[in-house]
């Protein structure tokens, strides 16, 4: 395996973690926006409780992706930064407002009007960020960003080339997926009626993810031929789709039968497979169809050192992350086994 | 304004904003850990109260620092894609390592802030120590990248492209040591004096308040040591900059003519057209001594370099005077603190004039830090990577950069106002009487 492929896989893995962890934080914000019913306040409190200690760490996965991209594949970073300037600025606005508003809300305890104002900022920016991130990813996959040499990096379709049905559908897909992941986690982390609230929301989000996936697949046939071909005609595509579909069906079943821990595990598998499937289907392109892992590669020495740094860093990172989740997510932080409540 | 100028203003505004929160993120965890450590040792609830309150302030400031730092990591590409295409593979190493330092910082800050009742005292204290250490490590790594921009190394430039890249050599370019030391110290000085000013002001109203005395003891002990080390580090910087960045040295000193036994100019207004610095107090041989530790040493003047590699001399010289002036002021306050503390039997001085001096010098550290940052960034112009890539060549082709500039500037202004309001509210709730902390917890007064 070439160094570029290893780094490509590392970026994809970091993105999977970002979706599973940072995505869930954005999903929490989406449920904050959609909090309703007699327990709306409790729903918001549960979301705040779940996100508080971990969102800053979860957010670093995105920075890691950016750093690997500009160190390992610098021309790709430059090309993406130019062609996706507008959605990336929107993503940043969402990230800044989400993080700041969340913290301000926590520390405005006791001031109800301020808290609700920050709540609105927190939840609205939690919708904006996944839409912008998904649209950026969709644009990379779509083949709409044509970067001809000599154009100075200006994409052929102009600064709004990303603004098309397929990328926007991916934006909605991302938001739905983040909402699903968040609801599945929250169902495990709450109890009683609140758990029912999030379980039902998870079922709703699972339906939304299914619809968004169907729309995205349809649009990819029209708008993103390379990815569509990757999704449908490669040797691994069928087993991959079967696995993703099996995870989705298992998640539905577990949610319907109130097995929330199993549902969480299935949703994690489903989300990870979706992101990995996107990466695999556009391999070896970073920006379809003009920038590949190989064409954008930094010199070998840089890539080798970067792999070493990532490997060493991971040895430090994963035990620390384990500790973090162990401290804040209870005794059986990662268990997927649903114990029956004891009778009597 | 041109798009290039908007790009520079946006980057500058983002960094000027972020740098405050980043510095706080380096120093504040040390203070809160020291307070908690005292509490665990002595059992005195004043220290616990202090650690918890500082932790709250740190949480607010760190969150803003984390998100504004994310903006900068993207802006490197959004505003300077051609710089990143060239420099990414050369200086990606410190950024990657900084990423992991930031990971540990965020993880253990989460454990620290939310784990008071969840983890053992030992793990809690250790988490705080890890936050403090990884904050300093982040500053260390990110400053290495800036040092490379000031004095690029570790590659050969062939037809505008970098070849023979050695990321390890690039990670430690000539002059890295002084900049790293100076930056890390500045975080402690700036934060310590800002926090000290707040508590000193409160002590003026309530001189027997043990809470504020305890706070002042921690921050001024660290701050005084850092403020006294900073001039030494500045001397080291002067020599390294003389050796590695002679144009910057000439600009920041307002030094136009190459000469032996060059004088040190304090204040003054550099006149670029006339190639002289007017109205300065000149200390004979001063610059030669500072730059080379030799009164007869030759110091290169700006006129020895082509006009098109001069940085903007007036603002660089002015910012440098501000930095040195304020740094000297803080060193003087540090000496005053140590003398008063020593004469008072190593107790926190509560002399009203001393407290006033500390309160007045509260903003000096951060002003000096911003001025120093301007010196190094403006002093590197017209280059993004000195001698390799001009800022005008590095900028993005994206038009209408006024829009993102105003969007982010308004966000920063808004966040700045909110943070100040939140911190004011936190400070206003500080215990008013000496034993309020203990009384509030029902531990007796």
Please name the residue of chain B whose CA is at the shortest distance from the CA of residue A100: B64
Mean local confidence (pLDDT), A164-186: 95
φ, ψ for residue A203 (rounded to 5)? -65, -45
**pLDDT of the residue at A340:** 67
Q: Among A124-138, A156-170, B327-341, which stretch is predicted with the lowest mean pLDDT?
A: A156-170
Please name the residue of chain B whose CA is at the shortest distance from the CA of residue A96: B67
**pLDDT of the residue at B160:** 81
Question: What is the number of CB-based contacts under 8 A between chain A and chain B?
Answer: 201
- Give me the number of domains chain A comprises: 1
Q: Are B330 and B358 in contact (CB under 8 A)?
A: no
Containing B93, the helix (H) or strand (E) segment is: helix B81-114
pLDDT in tens, B43-81: 999 999 999 999 999 999 999 999 999 999 999 999 999
Q: Are B104 and A320 in contact (CB under 8 A)?
A: yes
A277 lies in a domain? yes
Give the distance from residue B445's alpha carbon to the nearest chain A alpha carbon, in angstroms.
27
d(CA B122, CA B118): 12
Copy the structure tokens of residue A42: 């409790």
Q: Are A260 and A199 in contact (CB under 8 A)?
A: yes
**pLDDT of the residue at B432:** 61
A285 lies in a domain? yes
A343 lies in a domain? no
Q: Are A288 and A282 in contact (CB under 8 A)?
A: yes
Containing A339, the helix (H) or strand (E) segment is: none
Give the distance from residue A167's alpha carbon to the nearest chain B alpha carbon, in angstroms.
20
A220 lies in a domain? yes
pLDDT in tens, A13-34: 999 999 999 999 999 999 999 9
User: What residues are paired with B156 via a beta bridge?
Assistant: B163
Yes or no, beta carbons of B99 and A64 under 8 Å apart = yes
Mean local confidence (pLDDT), B312-319: 96
**pLDDT of the residue at A150:** 64
Q: Are B25 and B14 in contact (CB under 8 A)?
A: no
How confident is residue A229, by pLDDT bands cut at 50, 70 and 90?
Answer: confident
Mean local confidence (pLDDT), B376-402: 93
Please name the residue of chain B whose CA is at the shortest distance from the CA of residue A104: B60
d(CA A163, CA A291): 20
- How much is the ipTM here? 0.93
pLDDT in tens, A281-310: 888 999 888 889 999 999 999 999 999 999
Residues 276-295 of A with CB under 8 A from B: none
Burial class (CB in 10 A: 0-12, 13-18, 19+), B4: middle
Q: Which chain A positions have a beta carbon within 8 Å of B88's beta carbon?
A: 70-71, 74, 77, 298
Instruction: Say what percent of chain B tops pLDDT 70.
Output: 96
Burial class (CB in 10 A: 0-12, 13-18, 19+), B417: exposed
Residue A57 is nearest to which of B64, B69, B110, comparing CB atoms?
A: B110
Q: Which chain A positions have a beta carbon within 8 Å of B82's beta carbon?
A: 78
Give the distance from residue A4's alpha carbon to the nearest chain B alpha carbon, in angstroms.
13
Copy the structure tokens of residue B28: 């504040």
The better pLDDT of the pair A108, A173 is held by A173
pLDDT in tens, B29-47: 999 999 999 999 999 999 9
DSSP category for residue B259 = E
pLDDT in tens, A119-148: 899 999 999 999 999 999 999 988 888 877
DSSP category for residue B308 = G
Residue with tokens 């000149």: B282
Whether the per-residue pLDDT at B191 is higher than 50: the answer is yes
Residue B109's CB is within 10 A of a number of other CB atoms, namely 28
Residues 20-59 of A with CB under 8 A from B: 52-54, 56-57, 59
Q: Are B437 and B213 in contact (CB under 8 A)?
A: no
Yes or no, beta carbons of B63 and A77 under 8 Å apart = no
**pLDDT of the residue at A288:** 85
φ, ψ for residue A55 (rounded to 5)? -65, -35
Yes or no, beta carbons of A100 and B67 under 8 Å apart = yes
Mean local confidence (pLDDT), B90-115: 95
φ, ψ for residue B157 (rounded to 5)? -100, 115
Yes or no, beta carbons of A89 and B404 under 8 Å apart = yes
φ, ψ for residue B392 (rounded to 5)? -65, -25
Yes or no, beta carbons of A88 and B78 under 8 Å apart = yes
User: What residues are paired with B162 via a beta bridge?
Assistant: B157
- Can you tell me whether residue B158 is helix, strand or coil? strand
Residue with tokens 């700041």: A100
d(CA A289, CA B131): 43
Whether the per-residue pLDDT at B413 is higher than 70: the answer is yes
A344 lies in a domain? no
**pLDDT of the residue at A154:** 77
**pLDDT of the residue at A31:** 95
A290 lies in a domain? yes
Yes or no, beta carbons of B96 and A306 under 8 Å apart = yes
The better pLDDT of the pair A112, A221 is held by A221
Q: Which chain B positions have a beta carbon within 8 Å of A71's beta carbon?
A: 88-89, 92-93, 95-96
Give the distance from residue B223's alpha carbon to the nearest chain A alpha carbon, in angstroms.
27
Please name the residue of chain A whose CA is at the shortest distance from the CA of residue B86: A74
Residues 176-205 of A with CB under 8 A from B: none
**pLDDT of the residue at B444:** 37
Residue B119 is nearest to which of A64, A99, A327, comparing CB atoms?
A: A327
How confident is residue B358, by pLDDT bands cut at 50, 70 and 90?
Answer: very high
Listing DSSP states for A197-215 in one string gives HHHHHHHHHHHHHHHHHHH
Q: Are A141 and A86 in contact (CB under 8 A)?
A: no
Average pLDDT score, chain B: 92
Residue A74 is nearest to which of B71, B84, B106, comparing CB atoms?
A: B84
The whole-model pTM stands at: 0.93
Residue B167 is nearest to which of A93, A153, A302, comparing CB atoms?
A: A302
Residues 221-240 of A with CB under 8 A from B: none
Mean local confidence (pLDDT), B187-195: 97
Torsion of CA B199, B204, B205, B210, to 10 degrees: 50
Full domain range(s) for residue A169: 3-328
């Amino acid at each position: 395996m070439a160094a570029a492929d290893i780094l490509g896989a590392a970026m994809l893995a970091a993105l999977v973690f970002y979706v599973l962890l940072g995505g869930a934080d954005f999903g929490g914000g989406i449920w904050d926006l959609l909090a309703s019913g007699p327990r709306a306040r409790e729903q918001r409190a549960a979301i705040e409780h779940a996100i508080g200690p971990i969102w800053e760490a979860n957010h670093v996965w995105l920075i890691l992706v950016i750093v690997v991209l500009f160190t390992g594949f610098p021309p790709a970073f430059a090309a993406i930064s130019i062609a996706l300037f507008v959605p990336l600025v929107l993503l940043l606005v969402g990230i800044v407002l989400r993080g700041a508003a969340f913290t301000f809300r926590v520390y405005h305890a006791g001031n109800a009007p301020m808290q609700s104002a920050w709540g609105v900022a927190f939840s609205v920016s939690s919708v904006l960020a996944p839409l912008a991130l998904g649209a950026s990813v969709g644009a990379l996959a779509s083949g709409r960003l044509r970067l001809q040499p000599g154009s100075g990096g200006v994409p052929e379709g102009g600064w709004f080339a990303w603004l098309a049905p397929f990328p926007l559908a991916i934006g909605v897909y991302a938001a739905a997926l983040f909402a699903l992941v968040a609801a599945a986690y929250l169902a495990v982390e709450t109890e009683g009626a609140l758990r029912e609230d999030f379980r039902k929301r998870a079922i709703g989000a699972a339906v939304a993810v299914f619809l968004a996936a169907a729309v995205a697949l349809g649009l990819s046939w029209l708008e993103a031929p390379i990815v569509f071909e990757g999704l449908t005609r490669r040797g691994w595509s069928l087993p991959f789709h079967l696995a993703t579909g099996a995870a989705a069906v298992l998640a539905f079943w577990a949610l319907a039968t109130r097995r929330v821990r199993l549902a969480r595990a299935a949703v994690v598998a489903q989300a990870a497979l979706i992101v990995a499937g996107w990466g695999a289907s556009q391999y070896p392109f970073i920006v379809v169809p003009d920038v590949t892992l190989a064409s954008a590669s930094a010199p070998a020495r840089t890539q080798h050192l970067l792999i070493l740094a990532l490997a060493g860093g991971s040895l430090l990172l994963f035990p620390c992350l384990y500790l973090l989740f162990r401290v804040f997510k209870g005794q059986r932080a990662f268990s997927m086994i649903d114990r029956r409540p004891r009778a009597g | 304004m041109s798009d290039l100028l908007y790009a520079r203003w946006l980057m500058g505004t983002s960094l000027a904003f972020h740098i405050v929160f980043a510095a706080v993120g380096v120093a504040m965890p040390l203070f809160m850990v020291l307070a908690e450590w005292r509490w665990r040792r002595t059992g005195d609830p004043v220290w616990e109260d202090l650690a918890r309150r500082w932790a709250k302030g740190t949480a607010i400031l760190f969150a803003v620092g984390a998100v504004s730092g994310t903006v900068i990591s993207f802006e490197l590409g959004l505003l300077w894609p051609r710089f990143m295409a060239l420099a990414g593979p050369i200086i990606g190493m410190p950024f990657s390592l900084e990423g992991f330092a930031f990971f540990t910082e965020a993880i253990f800050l989460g454990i620290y802030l939310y784990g008071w009742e969840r983890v053992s005292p030992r793990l809690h204290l250790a988490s705080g120590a890890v936050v403090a250490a990884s904050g300093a490590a982040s500053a260390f790594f990110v400053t290495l990248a800036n040092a490379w921009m000031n004095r690029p190394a570790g590659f050969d430039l062939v037809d505008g492209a970098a070849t023979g890249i050695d990321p390890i050599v690039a990670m430690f370019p000539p002059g890295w040591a002084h900049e790293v030391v100076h930056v890390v110290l500045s975080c402690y000085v700036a934060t310590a004096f800002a926090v000290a000013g707040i508590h000193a002001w409160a002590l003026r109203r309530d001189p027997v308040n043990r809470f504020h005395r305890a706070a002042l003891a921690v921050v001024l002990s660290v701050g005084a040591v850092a403020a006294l080390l900073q001039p030494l580090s500045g001397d080291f910087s002067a020599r390294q900059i003389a050796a590695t960045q002679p144009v910057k040295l000439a600009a920041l000193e307002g030094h136009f003519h190459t000469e032996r036994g060059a004088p040190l100019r304090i204040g003054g207004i550099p006149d670029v057209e006339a190639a002289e610095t007017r109205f300065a107090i000149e200390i004979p041989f001063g610059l030669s001594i500072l730059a080379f530790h030799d009164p007869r040493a030759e110091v290169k003047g700006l006129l020895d370099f082509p006009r098109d590699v001069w940085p903007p001399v007036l603002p660089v010289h002015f910012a440098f005077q501000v930095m040195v002036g304020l740094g000297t002021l803080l060193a003087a306050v540090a000496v005053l603190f140590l003398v008063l503390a020593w004469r008072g039997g190593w107790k926190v001085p509560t002399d009203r004039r001393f407290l006033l001096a500390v309160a007045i010098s509260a903003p000096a550290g951060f002003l000096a830090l911003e001025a120093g940052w301007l010196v190094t960034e403006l002093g590197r112009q017209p280059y993004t990577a000195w001698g390799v890539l001009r800022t005008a060549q590095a900028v993005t082709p994206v038009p209408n950069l006024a829009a993102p500039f105003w969007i982010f500037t308004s966000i920063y202004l808004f966040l700045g106002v909110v943070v100040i309001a939140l911190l004011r509210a936190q400070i206003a709730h500080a215990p008013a009487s000496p034993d309020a902390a203990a009384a509030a917890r029902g531990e007796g007064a």
